[in-house]
Structure 1
Amino acid sequence: MTEKSIRSRVQNFGSFLSSMVMPNIAALIAWGFMAALFIPAGWLPNENFNKIVDPLLRYAIPALIAYTGGNLINPKMGGVVGVVALMGAIAAAGEEKMLVAAMLLGPLGGWLLKKLQDAYEGHVPEGFEMLVNNFSAGFLALGLALLSYVIVAPLISGLTGLLAAGINFLLERSLLPLVHIFIEPAKILFLNNAINHGIFTPIGLEQAADTGKSILFMIESNPGPGLGVLLAYSIFGNKREKSSAAGAAIIQVFGGIHEIYFPYILMNPKLILATIVGGASGTFTLELLNGGLVASPSPGSFLAWLAMTPKGSYLATILGFLVATVISFAIGSVILRTSKSSKSLDEAEGDVKANKSGKETAIVNEEKSFANISKIRFACDAGMGSSAMGASILKKKLKEAGLLEGIDITNVAIANLPKDVDLVVTHKDLTERAKQIVPNAIHVSVNNFMQAPEYDQVVERLKEAKSTAKVENKEEVKEETQKIADLKEEKKNTILLKDNIILDETFENKEEAIKRVQELLEKSGYVDKGYEAGMLQREKEAPTHFGIGLAIPHGTNETKKEIKKSGLVVITSKNGVDWDGELVKLIVGIAGKGDDHIGILANVANNINTEEIVNSLVENSNKDEIYEILTREEE
């Protein structure tokens, strides 16, 4: 197995741990504040409210984590199976808190249920799917609950005890700062959330439940080491590094987004020494002053540190942060001033930009059209922090370019990338994982979410795509308009034929005139024989003359079935015909299928609306003139 594949698997594992814990951070924060306020040593001791603290940590938070883990693996009841399985471990554990068990049993329950459902899929009689799904999930949950009571809980208790013993060993010998030798490099690989929430938080919560605070919440989350490196860059970096590092420092210390300083370490890997020594110095200070927090601060900002600090520990909290910052700054400054081979920020970003030879590109799947992009997702390990900042920056750029309408931009954990995403932005170390999850999306690989030139590339590609689409759309509209015009002309030529304009005929009565209309309509293929009966019936119900010498005979609704296609016939009669007491000289017979004939009838209403016009048409016009009047488009 290659080093790259090992690192990828470790990152995947860390990302999954984070994906279980991060959605439930609000519950951890609620528990932390409740403990800080209402436990006997808290700010506002309250015997009744303190009764909520233990059930939250013992039942609610582990259940939430187990449900999230099971649901991530199998949204179809995976979370439910995971929670029921967890109850076995909680029942067996007594006073111990089963957070680690929740991280194991939640995904295990979801995975086993998925395998079980896959096994019987397609073999269940129609209509019994819900019954089989519920019973299989229920029996699996039952079995896992019993298994977790007998086997999982003792194993987790032993593992937690071993880890706790190791940490206590380090604490007793003041060696806890040494863990930063492993923690700081792991953070740069985006395993910060996995370390904090997968290792330190479960053990820290146990300690906090017993003593009211734990130093373990402060080891990975200390913003000091990263802040020190950023301050060193803001003074001793080049011009661009200074400006970007200053802004990043503010976000690091007050926003708690540790990922923002990772690219600055990657630009000059020697700086990892600054964060290791800085972090170790901060932890040593906290150890010396008996520092600790009541719960895990999330995000890991200095403000969150202060919020989670119990009464009497503020000096330790402040000094632990300041010492880590100062030491990291001092060592980082020396490294930056003496280093001869450090990359500039531009060069670091350029590592993933498309070079002239085309061997490496920051935008993958470029052949996919940018014109149809509607869903953009920024993905990082936990879906918080740096990816949120990147999403905000690109959203602002698209808004300024007038391209934001119709595009949904947000940030997610890489494990939760939606299958229908169009464009994914990730750090270069996570791009391969994102491509495995959503291979059909456009992937943009960046080195620094805050200072990524690739954002401008995306904006330009979208501009070009929109511009091309507009041109293509104009051509399409032009072609479509011409087609519509041709179709209208074709319909006009079909609905009214010049051969069906008959000049100066003589009729004894209206029935004879209607019979003539039927002959013309039928001969041209507009109607069948039964249509004449409909026209005669219409006259009995309501005569169709208009009192200006014009009549428009047509059938009833019942005889619409006799109409084959829409058509008109026009007959003039200088002598006129008696139409229920009115003298009619212009007869427009109509067979209307759909609304094809409406345009011509509108012309009849607009252009032949007085007796004078009717008389003029009958006395003076020829077929061409009548055809032009009845088929021309209105302005």
Structure 2
Amino acid sequence: MTATSVEPKRGGARVGVQRFGSFLSNMVLPNIAAFIAWGLITAIFIPDGWWNLIAGTQGAEQPLAALVGPMITYLLPLLIANTGGRLVYGVRGGVVGTIAAMGVIVGSSIPMFLGAMIMGPLAAWVMKQVDRIWDGKIKAGFEMLVNNFSAGILGMLLAILGFFGIAPAVTFLSGLLEQGVDFLVSVGLLPLVSLFIEPGKVLFLNNAINQGVLTPLGTVQAQEDGQSILFLLEANPGPGLGILLAFAIFGIGLFRSSAPGAILIQFIGGIHEIYFPYVLSKPILILAAIAGGMTGVFTNVVFGSGLRAPASPGSIIAVLIQTPLGSMVGVILSVVLSAAVSFVVAAVILRASRKRDLEREGAGDLAAAVARTEAAKGKSSSVLSGLGAQAERAEDDAEVAGITSTAVATKVQNIVFACDAGMGSSAMGATVLRNKIKKAGIEGVTVVNKAIDTLDDSADLVITQRELTPRAEQRAPHAQHVSVDNFMNSPRYDEVVTLVAEQNK
């Protein structure tokens, strides 16, 4: 764990793609509860829903089914537009973005999720530029008048633009995408999308892929067909389960010991990020993820199965809740078979490299890992002897010098865990470290979790997963940055606790 310089690092193309994908997903993720509510209302109250099935009145119209149309047509796109506008220009941007989004919603015959994702941020950005024109030039007493009328007039103009310009273009684009998906399904090629989705996931683009692309497209398809296979392309927990099972049985050292706990968090909790470090530790394991993903998609294509609404998080519980009764067999088989295939492929890879891994100096051996860490720290540590965490990469251990209170000028009082969405994995890591700090009897230190895009320099220390650290350094250049492979139980946490305890003394 090393202190970084105050100059932000260039992240390259990968970081740029992550940032764009994160922005898309951050428009949808805060509103995912609304998607789930819509999915539950649809599943329960439509004519062939659960209510009529239990009551034995299949096909009967239920009054509450009237909520389904307005929610998907107006509520969900407007929530997305408002969130996108807020990301760009705060509350003012959210209001103007919502006004502008009404133009694309009314101007189209399909739910305008993509249109809302365009108009919300675009309108907020235009409002921000307009405000700069007369910033500091308005006479005292006229600020509210100018601000309200400028936002209202600009919102009206952008709503008109959306109605006549953006809505037809997005409708045409949505039609092309839908035809593309239908074509892939008809010719049996849809499983090939796993060649792109699975590698993208382990590079922490999972939220961007799912919430930024598949959820909007799948929601439109679900309104027309009652379900969508797109909701399962990324959210299927089977591939990750198979890989973790392979590590639990055929892995070595700390990877093997931590895999059972990771299975519970990934499969039941739905936090898929937990298995990404396992794949990244041996990149050839991406073949196991791809094989499992393709198997799951193929199974759903054969059975014609899908979900009524997004399963978020990607927990088996959330998946089953959103599964129509007619798709239950196909969905369950897709999870089981994808897990089985990814397990077999991962097991073969792990067995083939097991001897080489064991012979490699210290790899997978807890005692050796502890010895290397203590050597890097320059002193022995009682807490390291009890580590039950994932092995850190050997090349990073060469950089680990152990932060001490003399190495950090700023006292650490505000610790932030940051992940792509600021919800699942970072919340888990924050809870783990918060409990460690509490057990150490340390007071006056806050530990919170945030999305990377909301980071600022108010944080004293930022903890991120390794692949996301370059983005975090750009957002909070003056903070200390700590990279970990696994938010669940990293040895870096004990060093942070030691640092904070020494500073408090």
TMscore range, shorter length = 0.7 to 0.9
Matches within 5 A, 1:161-240: 161-240=175-254
After superposition, the C-alpha distances for 1:21-44 in whole angstroms (9 at most, x for unaligned) are 111011000000000011112111
Residue identity matched to 2:488: M
Q: CA deviation at 1:408?
A: 2.1
SS of the residue corresponding to residue 425 of structure 1 reads strand
- For residues 47 and 362 of structure 1, the distance between their equivalents in structure 2, rounded to whole angstroms, comes to 63
SS of the residue corresponding to residue 215 of structure 1 reads coil
Residue identity matched to 1:389: M
Q: CA deviation at 1:267?
A: 0.4
Contact 2:405–2:503, Cα closer than 8 Å, also in 1: no
Contact 1:267–1:348, Cα closer than 8 Å, also in 2: no
Residues 227, 75 of structure 1: alpha-carbon distance in 2 compared, 3 angstrom cutoff: same
* 2:259 maps to 1:245: yes
- For residues 155 and 261 of structure 2, the distance between their equivalents in structure 1, rounded to whole angstroms, comes to 50
Q: CA deviation at 1:365?
A: 12
Instruction: Pick the aligned partner of 1:413 from 446, 451, 456.
Output: 451
* 2:342 maps to 1:328: yes
SS of the residue corresponding to residue 80 of structure 1 reads helix
Instruction: Pick the aligned partner of 2:484 from 446, 449, 457.
Output: 446
Residue identity matched to 2:504: K
* 2:42 maps to 1:28: no
TM-score of the two chains, using structure 2 as the length reference:
0.87
Q: CA deviation at 1:434?
A: 1.3
- For residues 478 and 140 of structure 2, the distance between their equivalents in structure 1, rounded to whole angstroms, comes to 34
Once structures 1 and 2 are overlaid, which stretch shifts more, 208-217 or 447-456?
Answer: 447-456
After superposition, the C-alpha distances for 1:49-108 in whole angstroms (9 at most, x for unaligned) are 1100111111001101100110011114100110110100011102x0100111111111
Residue identity matched to 2:107: A
- For residues 132 and 337 of structure 2, the distance between their equivalents in structure 1, rounded to whole angstroms, comes to 55
Residues 452, 183 of structure 1: alpha-carbon distance in 2 compared, 3 angstrom cutoff: same
Partner of 1:44: 51
Instruction: Pick the aligned partner of 1:350 from 365, 374, 393.
Output: 393
* Structure whose alpha-carbon radius of gyration is higher: 1
Matches within 5 A, 1:567-578: none
Q: CA deviation at 1:264?
A: 0.2
Q: CA deviation at 1:351?
A: 5.1
* 2:20 maps to 1:13: yes
Residues 42, 3 of structure 1: alpha-carbon distance in 2 compared, 3 angstrom cutoff: farther
After superposition, the C-alpha distances for 1:190-242 in whole angstroms (9 at most, x for unaligned) are 11111111211111111111111111101100000011000000001113221
* 2:124 maps to 1:86: no
Once structures 1 and 2 are overlaid, which stretch shifts more, 319-328 or 338-347?
Answer: 338-347
Paired residues, number: 460
Instruction: Pick the aligned partner of 1:374 from 391, 406, 413.
Output: 413
Contact 2:404–2:499, Cα closer than 8 Å, also in 1: no
SS of the residue corresponding to residue 73 of structure 2 reads helix
SS of the residue corresponding to residue 8 of structure 1 reads helix
Residues 331, 354 of structure 1: alpha-carbon distance in 2 compared, 3 angstrom cutoff: closer
The percent of aligned pairs where both chains have the same amino acid is 49
Partner of 2:435: 396
Residues 415, 4 of structure 1: alpha-carbon distance in 2 compared, 3 angstrom cutoff: closer
SS of the residue corresponding to residue 121 of structure 1 reads coil
SS of the residue corresponding to residue 279 of structure 1 reads helix
- For residues 492 and 68 of structure 2, the distance between their equivalents in structure 1, rounded to whole angstroms, comes to 47
- For residues 366 and 431 of structure 1, the distance between their equivalents in structure 2, rounded to whole angstroms, comes to 24
Partner of 2:79: 64
Residue identity matched to 1:329: F
Instruction: Pick the aligned partner of 2:422 from 383, 386, 404.
Output: 383
Contact 2:85–2:120, Cα closer than 8 Å, also in 1: yes
- For residues 403 and 150 of structure 2, the distance between their equivalents in structure 1, rounded to whole angstroms, comes to 45
- For residues 405 and 22 of structure 2, the distance between their equivalents in structure 1, rounded to whole angstroms, comes to 24
Matches within 5 A, 1:524-543: none
- For residues 335 and 378 of structure 1, the distance between their equivalents in structure 2, rounded to whole angstroms, comes to 33
- For residues 143 and 485 of structure 2, the distance between their equivalents in structure 1, rounded to whole angstroms, comes to 48
Partner of 2:299: 285
- For residues 62 and 173 of structure 2, the distance between their equivalents in structure 1, rounded to whole angstroms, comes to 33
SS of the residue corresponding to residue 297 of structure 1 reads coil
- For residues 229 and 298 of structure 1, the distance between their equivalents in structure 2, rounded to whole angstroms, comes to 21
Q: CA deviation at 1:243?
A: 1.4
* 2:443 maps to 1:422: no
- For residues 133 and 218 of structure 2, the distance between their equivalents in structure 1, rounded to whole angstroms, comes to 41
Residues 352, 460 of structure 1: alpha-carbon distance in 2 compared, 3 angstrom cutoff: farther
Residues 79, 246 of structure 1: alpha-carbon distance in 2 compared, 3 angstrom cutoff: same
Residue identity matched to 2:423: M
Q: CA deviation at 1:118?
A: 2.0
SS of the residue corresponding to residue 313 of structure 1 reads helix
Partner of 1:581: none
Residue identity matched to 2:269: G
SS of the residue corresponding to residue 63 of structure 2 reads coil
- For residues 404 and 176 of structure 2, the distance between their equivalents in structure 1, rounded to whole angstroms, comes to 45
- For residues 146 and 48 of structure 1, the distance between their equivalents in structure 2, rounded to whole angstroms, comes to 34
- For residues 336 and 190 of structure 2, the distance between their equivalents in structure 1, rounded to whole angstroms, comes to 18
Let me know the Cα RMSD of the aligned residues.
2.1
Greater share of residues in strand: 1
Residues 361, 278 of structure 1: alpha-carbon distance in 2 compared, 3 angstrom cutoff: farther
TM-score of the two chains, using structure 1 as the length reference:
0.70
Greater RCO between the two (CA within 8 Å, min separation 6)? 2
After superposition, the C-alpha distances for 1:348-374 in whole angstroms (9 at most, x for unaligned) are 62357452xx5x778799854463x33
Partner of 2:385: none
Note the residue ranges of structure 2 that are not aligned, 5 or more in a row: 1-8, 53-60, 370-389
Contact 2:416–2:448, Cα closer than 8 Å, also in 1: yes
- For residues 244 and 128 of structure 1, the distance between their equivalents in structure 2, rounded to whole angstroms, comes to 62
Residue identity matched to 1:38: F
* 2:137 maps to 1:123: yes
Q: CA deviation at 1:438?
A: 1.7
- For residues 98 and 149 of structure 1, the distance between their equivalents in structure 2, rounded to whole angstroms, comes to 11
Contact 1:365–1:441, Cα closer than 8 Å, also in 2: no
SS of the residue corresponding to residue 477 of structure 2 reads coil
Residue identity matched to 2:415: I
- For residues 225 and 170 of structure 1, the distance between their equivalents in structure 2, rounded to whole angstroms, comes to 21
Q: CA deviation at 1:317?
A: 1.4
Greater share of residues in helix: 2
After superposition, the C-alpha distances for 1:476-517 in whole angstroms (9 at most, x for unaligned) are xxxxxxxxxxxxxxxxxxxxxxxxxxxxxxxxxxxxxxxxxx
Residue identity matched to 2:392: E
- For residues 27 and 352 of structure 1, the distance between their equivalents in structure 2, rounded to whole angstroms, comes to 44
- For residues 325 and 50 of structure 2, the distance between their equivalents in structure 1, rounded to whole angstroms, comes to 7
- For residues 161 and 354 of structure 1, the distance between their equivalents in structure 2, rounded to whole angstroms, comes to 51
Residue identity matched to 2:483: S
Contact 2:402–2:495, Cα closer than 8 Å, also in 1: no
